[in-house]
Amino acid sequence: MQGFILLLFCLVILNIIAANTVRDSISTGQSINDGQNQIMVSSGETFALGFFSPGISKNRYAGIWYNKDPNQTVVWVANRENPLNDTSGVLKLNESGVLVILNHNKSVIWSSNSTGSAQNPVARLLDSGNFIVQDGSNNYDTKHVLWQSFDYPVDTILPGQKFGRNLITGLNRYMSSWKSSDDPSQGIYNYQIDIVGYPQFVLREGAAKIFRFGSWNGFQFSGAPKVKQNSVYRISFVSNEEELYYAYELIDKSALHRLVLKSDGQVQRIYWNKEENRWSGLSRFPTDDCDYYGKCGASASCNINNNFLCNCLDGFVPKTEDTYGDCIRRTSLSCNGDGFLKFSWLKLPDTYRSWFNRNMSLDDCMVLCLKNCSCTAYAALDVSKEPAGCLLWFNDLIDIKVFTEVVEDIYIRMAATEVEAVEGKQSHKSNTQKHHSHTIILSCVLSIGVLIMSLTCIIYRWRMTLQKGKLTGNPQRDANSINENEREDLELPLFELSIIISATNNFSTDNKLGEGGFGSVFKGILDDGREIAVKRFSQNSRQGLQEFKNEVIHIAKLQHRNLVRLLGYCIQARERLLVYEFMPNKSLDFFIFDANRGQLLDWTRRLHIVNGIARGLLYLHEDSRHRIVHRDLKAGNVLLDREMNPKISDFGLARSFGGTEIEVNTDHVAGTYGYLPPEYIINGSYSTKSDVFSFGVLILEIVSGKRNSGFCHEDNLLSLAWRLFIEGKCSEIVDAAIRDSLDLSAVLRSIHVGLLCVQLSPDDRPSMSSVVLMLSSESTLPQPKLPGLLTNRNMVGDTSSSSSYKPSSNNDITIGLMSAR
């Protein structure tokens, strides 16, 4: 009996050991069980496969990682979009040769969807990092697989793995980033080969191109000339009728190397540094500012070594004064009399709308381009063979960068006179250089004299500047500077200027939505189809850097359905740009102050707008991270989305209140006359009750369809509303456009609340929480006191004076963000 128990015990121990013993393959009936910490290890022990939790996440995923890497660097994930929340996961191979992952309910949460079938299917983890399913009766012939993980990359490409497309089956092997280091689900970046036009590798953020690796020319990629055959790896690029892909093989087979798309959008080549026992970077893309797609406009090249990155190509001139704008031909094309200029050491333009032929000579390519008046340039397709093939462009030449390692030329179409002028200029330059060699000695002598005089002047001016600096304080920083700590605090995307220029058609007047003291607002469309509104601060804007930063910092941290959403900002090339969600229905004043458009806003919609503005202000005053006073609430700063929902905008004058602070004084009164409370104009005191006053004015304007006329002898809207309230005739102030649709009791209640908000004393005005409650309930309202009726006499402080105060012909000091005026 004791012998039987001992035997049984040994069998149990052997089963446990077998259950956890690593192996490189499983067949039907076998599995990898997360609860038992089972893993597979490739035959050379390079890679392991099992379940893991990334970073600080508690979710469980099935994946492949480097077996001996203590950091468990993951190279492939199976169920990236459908994680397990416990350790019940089981990876198994069914009888049809399909890999499945089961949860605790034995439900399939992921499968390999193999298209073939096998008699004796086997799943094997290879030392290349490829996880394959094959027919076990074929003696494990890896050339015939039913399914392989290499066909479904995540964020990593390994040596020997194809990166590209099968043109017959449509299989697209592309990289997509993790959302974060703790979440392997698909992020916002993808890197793949684009087959529209001549194939090229493109890195995208969503649908927007951010970096173009370029096309293969037989030796290298036009956008990354350093990626070519070297002592570390061998490159292969296959392009035929069936397949289109890139792959690389390591010369040292024992080395560890991977190409990875990081969650921040960087494409990196990484290798295992044996000496330092860690991963090290070989290269990364994008590398510099000129790598970002369309950094310069059409027919312009980007040179990272120049002070001014963008310059028009020879024969082209700037279309506008914009540094990053398009360039146009100095001389228009005539079609029949055109020629070509050769340009070297350049990244070839975007081939999205190109045409190519693999068997044509370069001479025939030129003839073909000349015959087509729409052809703008041509180049050789593959410079490693003859014939070199033909590549033609039919659109603007976009995304050109200066390189010193590119072994390829492009021939750009030019008017014949322009070709002669440029070639003559180049010839003249050569002759001039010879002439200069005879005058170097004389020039040097003269230069020394001039240098001495120049140094004397420079030292004198430096001393004068230093003395002036001591009197006036520190020199002013660059008008566009925002330091790193401020950028990190923003937690907001920084847009490339080229993206905004493309979206707004280079700030075209056709895209202009409005204009104000700060500058102009333009409509734009991003590459992914999103509509945006771009607030462009002019160089002479009354709102300087502080107001720009103030608006970004405040609104970046605000999240409410009744506040306009800031998508990002840009501070490049002396530009200050804010990118907002686009509001198709413009601003509130566009409707309520126009007799015809006012009819589009019936009473129900106006009451909805009043309530929405109230909720937005309540959020600013009480529910946001900091108590925020807007200081410029007006009809022009309330935007309307497609459903006519109100969005408060323009936070350039907003201020935060900290701690127990309830009121602040300022010597600089800013805002819009007609909406400012008396205590702010007279004493410079502002608080949340200042916004309440502006909101009261806004209610009366929405109900009446009339502007508060401000500081003149005539009755303003507040005095008119007060007089009619006292006389019991409030209905007379209602806009004629809504009298047929109104709920009289609701209208009278809104007017009453408006008058409570504009009372002279800030202490008498209700808080926004009380206002929201009063608008939404039927409770009895307190009797309002005299409103803040400021006349010219209040302004000058002389009750005997009869002179009137008129701020300007344009009553707005600040103009609404995205409203079209």
Active site members: 632
Residue 436 CA to chain centroid, in angstroms? 50
Beta-carbon neighbour count of residue 408 at 10 Å?
A: 24
Burial class, 216, CB count within 10 angstroms (exposed 0-12 / middle 13-18 / buried 19+): buried
Q: At what angle do helices 603-618 and 768-776 cross, to 10 degrees?
A: 150
Q: How far apart are CA 249 and CA 161, in angstroms?
A: 9
Q: How far apart are CA 568 and CA 579, in angstroms?
A: 5
| DSSP assignment of 43-72 | TTSSEEEEEE--TT---BEEEEEETT-TT-
Q: How far apart are CA 97 and CA 118, in angstroms?
A: 6
**Torsion of the alpha carbons at 366, 370, 375 and 379, rounded to the nearest 10:** 10
Tokens of 547: 């107001």
Q: How far apart are CA 607 and CA 743, in angstroms?
A: 10
Supply the DSSP symbol for 573: T
Task: Please report how many Cα atoms fall inside a 13 Å half-sphere around the Cα of residue 548, on the Cβ side.
Answer: 29
Identify how many contiguous H helices and E strands the chain contains and give both numbers. Answer: 15, 44
Q: How far apart are CA 578 and CA 151, in angstroms?
A: 42
The answer to whether 629 touches 655, Cβ cutoff 8 Å, is yes
Give buried/exposed letters for 580-603 (b at 16+ CB in 10 A, else e): bbbbebbbbbbbbbeeeebeebeb
Tokens of 278: 């860690």
Which H helix or E strand runs over 618? helix 603-618
Is there a binding annotation on residue 434? no
Beta-carbon neighbour count of residue 265 at 10 Å?
A: 19
Q: How far apart are CA 175 and CA 171, in angstroms?
A: 13
761 contacts: CB under 8 Å, gap ≥ 6: 785
515 contacts: CB under 8 Å, gap ≥ 6: 521, 815, 821
Maximum distance among all alpha carbons in the chain? 121
Bridge partners of residue 400, in order along the sequence: 301
Sign of the CA dihedral running 626, 632, 635, 641: negative
Tokens of 629: 């006073």
255 contacts: CB under 8 Å, gap ≥ 6: 232, 271, 272
Give buried/exposed letters for 627-663 (b at 16+ CB in 10 A, else e): bbbbbbbbbbbbbbeeebbbbbbbbbbbbbbeeeeee
The residue with tokens 């202009």 is 512
Which H helix or E strand runs over 460? helix 440-472
The answer to whether 203 touches 209, Cβ cutoff 8 Å, is yes
The answer to whether 635 touches 667, Cβ cutoff 8 Å, is no
Tokens of 358: 């693999």
Q: How far apart are CA 315 and CA 699, in angstroms?
A: 59
Q: How far apart are CA 414 and CA 626, in angstroms?
A: 59
The residue with tokens 């203590």 is 70
Task: Please report how many Cα atoms fall inside a 13 Å half-sphere around the Cα of residue 594, on the Cβ side.
Answer: 11
The alpha helices in 70-126, defined as continuous H runs, are none
Strands 400-401 and 300-302: parallel
Tokens of 295: 């950094």
Annotated binding site for ATP: 535
